[in-house]
Structure 1
Amino acid sequence: MASAPKPLTGTKVLVMLVAFFGVVIGVNVTMAKLAIATLPGTDVDSPYAAGLSYDREISAARDQTARKWQVNAHIERRTDGGATLQVEARDASGLPISGLKFGGRLERPTDKRADLSVELTEAGIGIYRGNAASVAPGQWDLVIESEARGQRAFLSRNRVILN
């Protein structure tokens, strides 16, 4: 003979409700902590200051266009996990531009904490090279900047994929 089923009491219902909502709240707290811990941050530190400098950015872009420089960048992944960046700069007439200060950055589109700076030095007339160590595979924004006489002379941002 089978034993009679145990009756559903108020205590059992209370325990089931507390367990259910405890699991739901626990999952929500865990997900919130993970979301906050992995937040990459903002694109600009101060949107107000960026807005004030907007006219200067437009002026610098017009000056860059007027110079008609031809700047070509090539990034190559090395077998040790790093990358080599080479920039070739020529003026409007096609002559190499020497004596500039170039800098490069590899920026992760999804996580600013993974950004890498690449210091470029002049390796030849109009050719600038630099190395980045431990570059993870995937999509990057390659940002190239140049200064001449303390002023920004060139700025370029391109999406690259490194395998």
Structure 2
Amino acid sequence: MASAPKPLTGTKVLLMLVAFFGVVIGVNVTMAKLAIATLPGTDVDSPYAAGLTYDREISAAQDQAARNWQVSAHIERRTDGGVALQVEARDASGQPMTGLKFDGRLERPTDKRADLAVELPEAGIGIYRGNAASVAPGQWDLVIEGEVRGERVFLSRNRVILN
């Protein structure tokens, strides 16, 4: 003889609803905690301060363009997983420029926490070289800044893909 199915009672319905909403709330709390823990932050700390410096950036870009310098960068993946970066700087007449201070940065477009600084000491007349260890594959922004006596005179930002 087949036994009769158990009746659906108010207690069973209540337990099913509590279990359902408990799972939904648990998943939402977990996802919110993971989203907050992996948030890379903002692109700039203060948009207001960035807006105030906008005119200076435009003026610096115009000054840089007027200098007509020829600055080229070459980035190459090494076999140990790092990268080698070389910057060659020439003035408007094509002569190598010495005595500049170049700094390089590899910036992850999606996560500022992965940014890497690359020191670029002068390795020859007008040639600046540096290395970065353990660079993950993917897209990076290569930022090169040149200074003379503490004043930034050159800025370049280029997207590169490192495999």
The TM-score bracket by the shorter chain reads over 0.9
Between the aligned partners of 2:62 and 2:144, the Cα distance in structure 1 is 17
Q: 1:8 & 1:63 partners in 2: Cα distance?
A: 80
Normalised TM-score (structure 1):
0.99
1:79 equivalent in structure 2: 79
Amino acid of the residue matched to residue 161 of structure 1?
Answer: I
| Count of aligned positions | 163
Secondary structure, counterpart of 1:105 in structure 2:
strand
Deviates more, 1:44-53 or 1:4-13: 44-53
Structure 1 runs of 4+ aligned residues shifted over 6 Å read none
TM normalised by structure 2 equals: 0.99
Deviations 1:101-153 (A, max 9, x none): 00000000000000000000001100000010110111000000000122111
Question: Match of 1:162?
Answer: 162
SS of equivalent residue, structure 2 residue 39: coil
Distance 2:123 2:111 in 1: 31
How far 1:20 sits from its partner (Å)? Answer: 0.2
* SS of alignment partner, residue 22 of structure 1: helix
What percent of counterpart residues are identical? 89
Distance in 1 of aligned mates of 2:152 and 2:63: 10
- Structure 1, unpaired ranges of 5+: none
SS in 1 for 2:159: strand
